[in-house]
């Protein structure tokens, strides 16, 4: 059997690449859409599901649709920015995180990722992943994206950017969500096509 055809309902090539490294055997392409629905859900799960359902309505009928939503929760900000992460950071992730925690002793942080996959037959599967850590005082490292240059995972002394893409493919919140999705989906099922 060839690769499972999946459309990631996102414009983010970084996320597509990260997910494809974990979801082996899945041929993941970005969904081509000019206008995506606004992310107005109260939770990461609601936003991920909205993206997947949007993909199901406009994407190829015979392919799986994968919705993803992720963000950063800062303990000192009561869990913010959370689902507002993208709008809050406005492409300046490192700068915003460091400014928000300037002079703050509590630098605890958590990455959260929700994945929702919709089969051609409408079946819905969910995977959740988190990664706890702290925000560093300054950015270091060259790999990754977003908050990775200032996010030090629990049990590590280096930032995600320093740990690198190979580490991230195994341990990131997105990798954990992808593995949870696979477990829920149960790849031992004889039917991965969604055609019954």
Active site residues: 69
Q: Which residues contact 188 (CB under 8 A, 6 or more apart)?
A: none
Other Cβ atoms closer than 10 A to 43: 13
| Cα 40 from Cα 85, distance rounded (Å) | 12
Q: Which residues of 115-126 are buried (b: 16+ CB within 10 A; e: fewer)?
A: bbbbbbeeeebb
Q: Work out whether strand 64-74 and strand 4-8 pair parallel, antiparallel, or are unpaired.
A: parallel
| Cα 100 from Cα 119, distance rounded (Å) | 40
């Amino acid at each position: 059997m060839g690769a499972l055809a999946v459309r990631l309902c996102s414009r983010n090539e970084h996320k597509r690449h990260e997910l494809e490294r974990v979801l082996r055997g899945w041929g993941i392409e970005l969904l081509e859409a000019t206008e995506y629905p606004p992310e107005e859900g109260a939770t990461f799960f609601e936003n991920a599901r909205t993206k997947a359902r949007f993909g199901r309505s406009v994407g190829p009928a015979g392919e799986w649709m994968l919705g993803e939503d992720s963000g950063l929760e800062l303990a000192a900000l009561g869990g913010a920015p959370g689902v507002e992460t993208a709008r809050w950071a406005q492409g300046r992730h490192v700068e915003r995180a460091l400014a928000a925690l300037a002079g703050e002793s509590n630098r605890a942080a958590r990455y959260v990722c929700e994945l929702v996959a919709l089969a051609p037959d409408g079946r819905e599967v969910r995977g959740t992943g988190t990664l706890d850590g702290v925000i560093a005082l300054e950015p270091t490292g060259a790999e990754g994206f977003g908050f990775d240059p200032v996010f030090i995972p629990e049990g590590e002394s280096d930032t995600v950017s320093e740990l690198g893409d190979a580490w991230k493919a195994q341990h990131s919140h997105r990798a954990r969500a992808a593995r949870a999705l696979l477990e829920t989906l149960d790849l031992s099922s004889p039917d991965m096509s969604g055609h019954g």
